[in-house]
Amino acid sequence: MPILRILSVLAVLVFAVAAWLAVLLRDVNSVQVLSGEMAPASVTSAGSLPTSPPADIHWQPIDQQTLASWRGPYWLRWQSPASTQPDDAGRALRLSLRGASQLYWNGQPMLGNGVVGISAEQEQPGLVDITRVLPPSSPTGSDELLVLASSHHQQFGLYSADALVAVAPAVVLYQRMVLPWLIAALATGALAAACLYFLALQHGRPQMPGGRLLLALCAVGIALPVVEGWRPLLGYLYPWHGLRLYALLALHVAAAMLLPAYLARRYGVAMPKGLGIAYATALVLAAVLLPSFDIRSAVALLLSLLASSALLLRAKGEREERWPILALLVAGVLALLFAPGAFLDGPYFLLLAVLVGFLLLCHAAQVRALDMHNARLREERASLSLQLLQRGIQPHWLMNTLTCLQELIEQAPTKASRLVESLAEQFDRLRESSSRQSVPLSEELALCRNHLDIVGQALDQPMTLEVDANDLQLPLPPGVLHAQVENALTHAGAVACAQRPFRLRVQRDKQHWILELRSARGSAPHRGQGTGTRYIEASLAASHPNRWLYSQGADGADWCSRIELTCAY
């Protein structure tokens, strides 16, 4: 098990979450969350909004679900014991309310938030969160915040109103409440950088399995903290709140779909189509039927983490990558089960950032490994191409042929001219073949016959190659038959080869192509271990990795070479 990697990813996650919690909880004791009351407001007989609640108004404790359905106008009241702290003047309050509101602190009006209205036309929406510096506490020993509010522009029927008042030192509310988002911003930035690196690495290359899914997951991972941070960092008018919640839900569902889909693709886990549809349906149903956005998101993410873990357990190989991912997923499941609300408010996208960052790096490493593999293949091909050319102009054959040519020039110029033509054709064919990864059998045979023609002219005896093949288009790495012919000529001698023609038989047996070349056996020892054989084996290994066999040996008066290729052709 890749312990080091598992510990590394968990350490990064723990560090990020610990940093988040450290800044979040630093001032938790100085923040006072008040409990409040609510009551519907009555329009005055003049048809205008009231400026204070009537004395006989019936206050009831705030019920967030009931309040979510109120459109307005309505009264909210929060009371707290007056502060006895010396820095009383430095206190501020933060009001979270999805509506326009008019605030009264100990009976004195404060700066409003939008314009409260009897109808939607009259109302001007306020911000979803506002912060106000508080005047000094009341000498009566009790402070009261009275709010007249209306929520006519609330378009979506939300499950909870989430109306909340928190009182704390001004410096806490104005500055430090945004600090946790600095951690989120760092995580998002790291994820964006990893994403850019991955995009740059992918540029101009063929797509790796699941590359697009991973990029989509990455986009979700970046978008989540951006949408989450919109409220605390920038704020917005309350009608946007429903849209933001739906956007967050959509992102959570998208992440829940993408993560298992990517892992299945990346690790080649075959998923029955029905199971995939059932999973997607379960996600959609959870997103539609469950009561609150938090519950919907939590269930979608839980399903996603469980499905992804199951996929990783079913996958095979690449333990170095799978186990660290599994460790992160298990950490996510545990966090989600024990503290779903706290997890979704921040650590979730930190987990997503670490997870997607790790996946990106793994994917990038895979791309780099593929690059190196391709470079090695290119190098191999270049080396084989060079070998083919070198073998085509090997000194012994070429110099002997040139010496023959000298003699023909002096003694039989017409034959010399023909030999020059054959040599030119041979070099042309070699040049053409060496620039390609594979050639049809017909071209390879032409190269062999041309070579035999040259040898035959030097020997003044015809050299023949008999072929029994139905398909002359069978692709072969260039030079493999040529090398066998050369081997036979070198080891058995041209005279023996002239007396016993070359015979090639090509046959297909299901997925196997078998090429059997017979030639004169000759008497030279140590045959079959030289550069020709090494070239043939290297060419077959490059063109048909793990799908080739090459054998050769004496068979009576013949030397028999056999190539067996497994291919879809």
Partner 1 sequence: MRILIVEDEPLVRQRLLRLCAELAGTRARFDAVADLDTAGDRLQRSVYDGLLLDLNLGGEDGFDLLRSAVAGRYHCVVVSAHRERALQAFEHGVLDFVPKPFSRERLGQALERLLDVGRYSSGRARYLGIWRAQGTALVELADVQWIRADGDYSELRMRDGRSELHDKSLAGLSAVLPPDFVRCHRSYLVNLRHVSTLHSGSGSRYWLVLNGGGELPVGRAHVAGLRQALALE
The residue (of 461 and 511) whose beta carbon lies closer to partner 1 is 461
User: Nearest Cα to 561, choosing from 521, 510, 511?
Assistant: 521
Interface with partner 1, residue 554, by CB under 8 A: no
Quick note: the x/- pattern for partner 1 over 520-549, rule CB under 8 A, is: --xxx--x----------------------
CB of 494 to partner 1, least distance (A): 7
C-beta of 106 vs 490, nearer to partner 1? 490
339 binds partner 1 (CB under 8 A): no
Q: Nearest-CA neighbor of 59 among 79, 32, 33?
A: 79
**Strands of 43-197, DSSP E:** 60-61, 74-81, 91-96, 100-105, 108-109, 129-133, 142-150, 164-169
Q: Is 557 in the site for partner 1 (CB under 8 A)?
A: no
Q: Is 405 helix (H, G, I), strand (E, B) or coil?
A: helix
Task: Give every strand in the sheet of 465-468, ordered side by side.
Answer: 465-468, 502-509, 512-520, 558-566, 548-555
492 binds partner 1 (CB under 8 A): yes
Nearer to partner 1, 108 or 400 (CB): 400
Sites for partner 1 among residues 369-408 (CB under 8 A): 395-400, 402-408
Nearer to partner 1, 398 or 560 (CB): 398
Choose between 344 and 494: whose C-beta lies nearer to partner 1: 494
In the complex, the smallest distance separating the C-beta of residue 402 from partner 1, rounded to whole angstroms, is: 4
Q: Select 60 or 523, whichever has its Cβ closest to partner 1.
A: 523
Lay out the site mask for partner 1 across 458-477 (x = CB under 8 A, - = otherwise).
Answer: xxx-----------------
**For partner 1, the closer CB: 169 or 501:** 501
Of residues 5, 252, 265, 491, which one binds partner 1 by CB under 8 A?
491
Parallel, antiparallel or unpaired: strands 439-440 and 36-40:
unpaired
Of 395 and 545, nearer to partner 1 (C-beta) is 395
- DSSP symbol at 291: S
| 493 forms part of the interface with partner 1 (CB under 8 A) | yes
| In the complex, least distance from residue 412 CB atom to partner 1, rounded to whole angstroms | 9
Helix, strand, coil share (%) of the chain residues, nearest 5:
55, 15, 25
Size of the site for partner 1 (CB under 8 A): 29
The amino acid sitting at 306 is L
CB 450 → partner 1: shortest distance, Å? Answer: 18
**Peptide bond just before 73 cis, omega within 30 deg:** yes
Bridge partners for 265 per DSSP: none
Q: Considering only 135-143, 435-443, 464-472, 489-497, which stretch makes contact with partner 1 by CB under 8 A? A: 489-497
Are the C-beta atoms of 256 and 353 separated by less than 8 Å? no
Show the CA angle centred on residue 317, arms to residues 315 and 318, nearest 5°. Answer: 105
* Sole window of 165-173, 200-208, 286-294, 493-501 interacting with partner 1 (rule: CB under 8 A): 493-501
Whole-angstrom CA distances from 215 to 134, 222, 350, 356 are 47, 10, 17, 9
Strand, helix or coil for residue 564: strand
Which spans of this chain sit near partner 1 (rule: CB under 8 A)?
Answer: 395-400, 402-408, 410-411, 458-460, 490-496, 522-524, 527
